[in-house]
Amino acid sequence: MGKVLMKGNEVIAESAVHAGCKYFFGYPITPQSELVAYMARRLPEVGGLFLQAESEIAAINMVYGASSTGARVMTSSSSPGFSLKQEGISYLVGSELPAVICNIVRGGPGLGNIQPAQSDYFQVTKGGGHGDYHIPVLAPASLQEIVELIQDAFDIADRYRNPVIIMGDGMLGQMMEPVEFTERPVSELPEKNWAATGTRGDGGPKIITSLELDADGLEKRNQHLQKKFAEMKEKEVRYETYKTEDADYIIVAFGTVARIAMNAMNKARQDGVKVGLIRPISLWPFPEKPFIETRDKVNMYISVEMSAGQMVEDVRLAVNGHAPVDFFGRNGGVVPTQEEIYHKIMMIAGGIQV
């Protein structure tokens, strides 16, 4: 199969099918409805099942049910709908159930608008639901990268028995790019011998629950979960760096914003300002290594986001006081331009007097 031209939302859906996802439960919301519509058409073709739930809350609980049987399952939404799923996500973590959940972020808070945003960063990385938990969050910047990361997301979910979030902004969902679905070898994953598929005289009933009434028992369960989170933090970090080796200034940006920032970086370099870029791909676990490697050499970091400043807090933690951290962002659905990012860099570098 050669390259095809697809929308980001369609690529997420098709990649999930390629990753062996047979079940999708969701509720449409702009700007990710094409994902739901594509699954409605596509899953019956591969012998899977699509079901439009009556609400996002119903959808996430259907995911809980399907996952309990060991099936690869996905749901998706956009900001307000994603908020509705939080209780279910917390239950998935508590019950140790794998699932992939997409959030194609739009402008908020509240009903906001349908334009692109990254303002759900806190929600996805810090735990939007209750309890002591973490969820790996992957943020693709191109449609081809979606193909890779969706496969990774299902693998990580199965490996740790934990949900995984794919976060993109509305632009990533709506834009079109050529993509190729390359088949890759199936990862070695633990057998799902915990799945509740009925007993056949081969042992006791399998119980999947997040309920644990005994305090000591629940603490023990939490310790077990924390051990998993620690392992994820060690093994599931993903990022890319561009021209950071000689950089005096480093932009930090993820998703589509990184692509805009890249042009600003190149333009600044043409004008003699040595700028580099760190692109976190996993937003949790947040990549600390590229900051530890550069923080004693650079003059300043600039976090560029489609929010009022959320990832910048993780950047500050990773830099840990070794260098100043500045921020530039647009929000409410406004996409930053390469010109204004360039302007910000040049102002910091002292090239523009205002």
Q: Tell me which residues touch another protein (CB under 8 A).
A: 3-7, 10, 14, 30-31, 34, 41, 113-115, 170-171, 174-178, 256, 259-260, 262-263, 335-338
Identify which of residues 74 and 175 has a Cβ nearer to another protein in the complex: 175
State the minimum distance, in angstroms, from the CB of residue 263 to another protein. 5
State the minimum distance, in angstroms, from the CB of residue 114 to another protein. 5
Instruction: State both tokens at 163.
Output: 């949900």
State the minimum distance, in angstroms, from the CB of residue 281 to another protein. 17
Q: Could you give phi then psi for residue 50, rounded to 5 degrees?
A: -110, 135
Identify which of residues 170 and 329 has a Cβ nearer to another protein in the complex: 170
State the minimum distance, in angstroms, from the CB of residue 6 to another protein. 7
Identify which of residues 28 and 70 has a Cβ nearer to another protein in the complex: 28
State the minimum distance, in angstroms, from the CB of residue 145 to another protein. 14
Measured at the CA of 334, the angle between CA 329 and CA 339, to 5 degrees, comes to 65
State the minimum distance, in angstroms, from the CB of residue 17 to another protein. 11
CA distance 32 to 186: 28
Identify which of residues 102 and 319 has a Cβ nearer to another protein in the complex: 102
CA distances from 336 to 151, 302, 330 (A): 30, 14, 6
Sort residue 179 into left (φ over 0), alpha (ψ -120 to 50) or beta: beta
Lookup result for tokens 């990753």: 19
* 239 bridge partner residues: 280
Core vs surface per residue 16-55: b (16+ CB within 10 A) or e: bbbbebbbbbbbbbebbbbbbbbbbebbeeeebebbebee
Q: Please check whether residue 251 is in contact with residue 345, taking contact to mean a CB–CB distance below 8 angstroms.
A: yes
Instruction: State both tokens at 323.
Output: 């260098």
Lookup result for tokens 């081969």: 202
State the minimum distance, in angstroms, from the CB of residue 215 to another protein. 46
Identify which of residues 253 and 302 has a Cβ nearer to another protein in the complex: 253
Identify which of residues 44 and 324 has a Cβ nearer to another protein in the complex: 44
Identify which of residues 4 and 317 has a Cβ nearer to another protein in the complex: 4
Q: Exposed/middle/buried for 179, CB within 10 Å: 0-12, 13-18, 19+? A: buried
